[in-house]
Structure 1
Amino acid sequence: MRRLRNDLPYTFTPPKPRGWFRPLGLWANNAVFLRRKYNVPLLEDSGFEKVKELSAAGHSVLLAPNHADHSDPHVMSALIARHEMRSHFMAAREVFEVSKAGAWALQSMGVFSVDRDGPDLSAIKTAITLLETSSDPLVIYPEGEIYHHHERLDPLHEGVASILLKAAARLKERKEAWLVPVGIRFHHDPAVQDTFDERLSRLEDRIGWTPKPSMAVDERIVRLGTGLLGLKEMEFLGEAGRGKIQDRLAAMCESLLSEVESRQGRDPKATTAPERVRGQRYRIRKRLLDAEKPPTYLEKTALLDDLDRVFTALQAHSYIGDYFLAEQTLDRRAETIMKLEEDLLGFPNYPVPRTAKVRAGEPIPVSKMLAAGELPPKGGAGELTALLERRLGELLLR
C-alpha cells in the first residue's frame, strides 16, 4: 500500500477514447506492463462469453473485480480486448498525477479519474452516463484499495451498487443493467521460492537487522512482519504491543483513527476502517486546501501528521493477521513478501512469471430485480453490495 500525503487540489479527468490510439495502448498494456513490469505473461479466463453477449445486445454492464494486485487493471484491459470488447475504467486520481503523458494515454483508453476520499460528483455522473449511453463494459473496483491478499475480500464500498442502481433507473426501452462479479487470482511459478531468501534479506537489512538466510522462510516472514508492527507501534503509540498479531493490528488501527477523529471529527455513517480513513482524508485535505483561511505552518504540519496516522491505520487494517498464519502456501508466501516490499521499499518485486486466473461470475440482473421488487429503487445499494460481496467471495475460493 503506497503512502499518500496528498495535499494537492483535485481536477476531474474525463475519458476521451481515441480509436487510433487503442492498438498502441493495448500493445503497451500487454508487452510493457503485463509482461515486462508485472511479469504476467499468461491469462486464463472463463465466463466472459456471457459478458460479451450482454454487451453485444446493447445492455449496461458493470464489471466489479476484486483488487489485490497493481496489475489488475492491465489484466482486465487485456481480457476485455481478447473478447473483442471496448471498455471504460474508473481509476484513482493518483494514477493521473504521475505524468501528463500517462494521463493522456489513460484518457485515450477510456479511463477517467475518481477522488476516492470525497464525493466526486463528476466521476459519479460520468459513470452513470456511460452506463446509460454505452454498452461497453465499465470496470470499477468495489474494494477501492489494493490489499495484496487474493483469497480474501475486504468489505466492499456501496458506491458501485449505488452507481448502477441510479443508471438502471434512467435506462429506456429494452436496455438492462447488469452487474458482473469478477474474481482475479494470481499463481506464481514455483521458481519464486528460490527468490525468497534474497528478498527477505534485503528487507531485513532495510530495517537495520542482520539478515538470517539460515532461518526457515515462514519463520522469517512472521519475524519480519512482527518486527515491523512493533516499530510502527513504537512510532505512533510509544510502546510495542503484546499478544496475537491480529489483535495488535486491530488495536493500532482503532487507536490511530480514534486519535485523529478526536481532532477532526467523525462521520457517524462511517463504520468500517476504510470508510473512516476516507472520511478523515477528506476532512484533512479540505482544511489543507482552504483558500479563504489557509492553515498556518504549524497547523499544516499537524494535518500532514494526521494524514500519516490514518494511512498507517489503513496499513494495519490491510494486513490480515491470520491470512498467512492460517495457510503458508507458495502464493500466500509470495503475496506477503510483495506486500512487505511495497511497504518498506516502495514497490513490490515480480521476479518470476505469474499466471492470472480470472473468472467472470454469473451476471446479476439488476434491472429485472428492480422490476420484480427484489431490490428497492431507493436504499437498495446495501442489499446489492451484500449480494456482490457474497458472489465475489465465492469466485475467489474456486
Structure 2
Amino acid sequence: MTVILDRPYEFVPPYHGNLWPTMIQKLRLIDWHLARREHVVDYEIRHLERFHESIAAGHGILLTPNHCRYADPIVLGWLSRQTTTHLFAMASWHLFNTTAFESFALRRMGAFSIFREGNDRQAIETAIDILVSGERPLILFPEGTTNRTNDLLKPLLDGVTFIARTAAKKREKLGSGRVVIHPIGLKYLCLGDVSRWADEQLRQLEIVLSWQPCDSSADPEILLRRLLRVSEAYLALKEIEHAGKASSGDLRPRRDALIESLLSKCESNRGLVANPGDGVRDRVRRIRTAVSSQFFALPETERDPQPYHRDAEAADLAQFLLSFPDEYLLPGQITDTRIVETIQRIQEAIYGKVRETMPMKVVIEVDEAIEVPAERGPRGQTDPLLCQIDARLRTMLERLSKEARSFGSPSVAIDVPPSRPLKIS
C-alpha cells in the first residue's frame, strides 16, 4: 500500500556523508542485495565515457532512467562504482516506511523522500539544490512509478524538467556552469531457461487457483495459453471482488471497465469529480492525495483508517491493472523477458510479492548529455525538454528490446565473471 496513514508525512533528507556509500561499495553490498533479493547477477554499462565527460566538466548532472523494476535504483549503484562518484536519488515516502533497516539503508545510499500525495516543496527544493551545487549527480525517475514493462515507457512527469530548468537558471546566475540531463536506458535480459521457469511458476499459480496443474511442458504455445488463462482468472477474481460477478468477453474491455468502476467509486467516496480527458494516473494521484489529506484533517479520535485504506488500495489496483499492456504478448513480439515480467506481475498480485528466481543481466546505457536551458518551459503545452527526454528513452528501449530472445528460442549459458555473484542461497 503506497499511501501511509500510520503517521503524517515527514521529509527524509539525503545523507551527505561519504563514509556509508563508500563502505557499501567496497563491501559489494549492492551486488549481494541484487543477487539475493532481485536475482540480478550481471551487468553491462555502455557509453560510460559520456557520463565521465559531464562529471569532468563540473556540470550539475541529472540522470533520468526508465523505471521497470524495483531493482532500478540499486543497479545504478554499479554506474556509481564505475565512475567513483556517489549519487543522490528521489524516492517515494512509502519506501521509507517498510522496515527500519531499509529506511536506514536507503538514506545512507543517497535517497531522500518525496510525498507523492501532495506538493512537497522541500523535496523539490532539495533536488534543485543538489543540481545547483553539483555535489553529486541526481537520479529522478521521470515515469514516477514502476510496472514491469521493460520495453514500454509510461508518460513522463513534467516535474523533472521543472526541477532541471530551475536549477539551470540558478546555476547561470551564479556563473557556476550548466545543468545537463543524461537519459539512462535500463534493459534486463534473462540468463536462464525461461520455458522451464515459466512452466514451474505457472504450475504454482495454477495450484493457488485450485486448478489441476497442467502437465509440465516447455512448448511455448502451451505455456502462453496457460499464462493467458491465469491472467483471465486473476481478472475474474477481481471482478467478483469489486463488481459482484465476473464478466465475459475480451480481457481489455473487461479490464478497462473494472478500472473505471474502481476509480469512480473512490472518487465518489472522496467527493472528487474526474476531469474530461484525465488519464488513470492523474485520477489515481488525486484519489491518493484526497485519502491522505482528508484522513489527517480529522481529529485523531475520529480517524477510522479502514475506509481510507480501501480507497487507496482500490486506486493502487486500478493503476496495477493498467500495467498489463495489450501489445506485450502480441504474436511475433513475445520475448522471454516479456513472459517473465507478465508472470511476475501476476505473482505480485496474488502472492503480494514477486518470486525473483530468474537470473537476470541488466544493460545500463548512458545517452548523450542534453543541455538544460535556463528559460522557463512554455505554458499550456508539453515542455520540449520533456519531449526530448521521452524520445531519447523510447529510442534506447526500442533498440535494447531487440536484445531479448524471442520466446521459445534456445537458452544461452550464464556467463558471469567470477568477481560478480551468481550462486543464490
Give TM-score, length-normalised by structure 2. Answer: 0.85
Q: Distance in 2 between matches of 1:210 and 1:295?
A: 48
How far apart are residue 380 of structure 1 and its match?
Answer: 7.4
Q: Partner of 1:311 in structure 2?
A: 316
Write the letter of the residue equivalent to 1:184: L
Query: Could you give the per-residue CA deviations for residues 227-265 of structure 1, whole angstroms, max 9, x where no partner exists?
Result: 111111121122323333222222222222122223321
Corresponding residue SS for 1:252:
helix
Q: Distance in 1 between matches of 2:325 and 2:181?
A: 28
Q: Partner of 1:181 in structure 2?
A: 183
Corresponding residue SS for 2:343:
helix
Corresponding residue SS for 1:117:
coil
Superposition pairs of residues 343-382 of structure 1, within 5 angstroms:
343-367=349-373, 370=374, 376=377, 382=383
Corresponding residue SS for 2:116:
coil
Q: Partner of 1:194 in structure 2?
A: 196
Q: Distance in 1 between matches of 2:377 and 2:108?
A: 37
Percent identity reads 29
Q: Contact 1:118/1:278 (CA < 8 Å) preserved in 2? A: no
How far apart are residue 357 of structure 1 and its match?
Answer: 0.9
Corresponding residue SS for 1:392:
helix
Write the letter of the residue equivalent to 2:258: M
How far apart are residue 358 of structure 1 and its match?
Answer: 1.5
How far apart are residue 386 of structure 1 and its match?
Answer: 2.2
Give TM-score, length-normalised by structure 1. Answer: 0.91
Aligned-pair Cα RMSD in Å: 2.2
Q: Partner of 2:15 in structure 1?
A: 16
The count of aligned residue pairs is 389
Superposition pairs of residues 69-108 of structure 1, within 5 angstroms:
69-108=69-108
Q: Contact 2:144/2:157 (CA < 8 Å) preserved in 1? A: yes
Q: Partner of 2:417 in structure 1?
A: none
Distance 1:60 1:377, change over 3 A: farther
Q: Distance in 2 between matches of 1:269 and 1:108?
A: 43
Q: Which runs of 5+ in 1 are unaligned?
A: none
Q: Distance in 2 between matches of 1:383 and 1:113?
A: 27
Query: Could you give the per-residue CA deviations for residues 372-392 of structure 1, whole angstroms, max 9, x where no partner exists?
Result: xxx747667633222211211
1:331 pairs with 330, 337, 343, which one?
337
Q: Partner of 1:35 in structure 2?
A: 35
Determine if the alignment matches structure 1 residue 204 to structure 2 residue 210.
no
Q: Contact 1:267/1:279 (CA < 8 Å) preserved in 2? A: no
Determine if the alignment matches structure 1 residue 233 to structure 2 residue 234.
no
Q: Contact 1:25/1:105 (CA < 8 Å) preserved in 2? A: no
Q: Contact 1:266/1:280 (CA < 8 Å) preserved in 2? A: no
Q: Which runs of 5+ in 2 are unaligned?
A: 400-425
Write the letter of the residue equivalent to 1:218: L
Q: Distance in 2 between matches of 1:137 and 1:359?
A: 16
Distance 1:360 1:222, change over 3 A: same
How far apart are residue 330 of structure 1 and its match?
Answer: 1.2
Write the letter of the residue equivalent to 1:104: F
Query: Could you give the per-residue CA deviations for residues 286-337 of structure 1, whole angstroms, max 9, x where no partner exists?
Result: 112224476454xx43322222221111111111123123432211111111
Q: Contact 2:45/2:364 (CA < 8 Å) preserved in 1? A: yes
Q: Contact 1:179/1:366 (CA < 8 Å) preserved in 2? A: yes
Determine if the alignment matches structure 1 residue 283 to structure 2 residue 290.
yes
2:226 pairs with 200, 213, 220, which one?
220
Corresponding residue SS for 2:344:
helix
How far apart are residue 269 of structure 1 and its match?
Answer: 9.2
Superposition pairs of residues 56-135 of structure 1, within 5 angstroms:
56-135=56-135
Distance 1:296 1:81, change over 3 A: closer
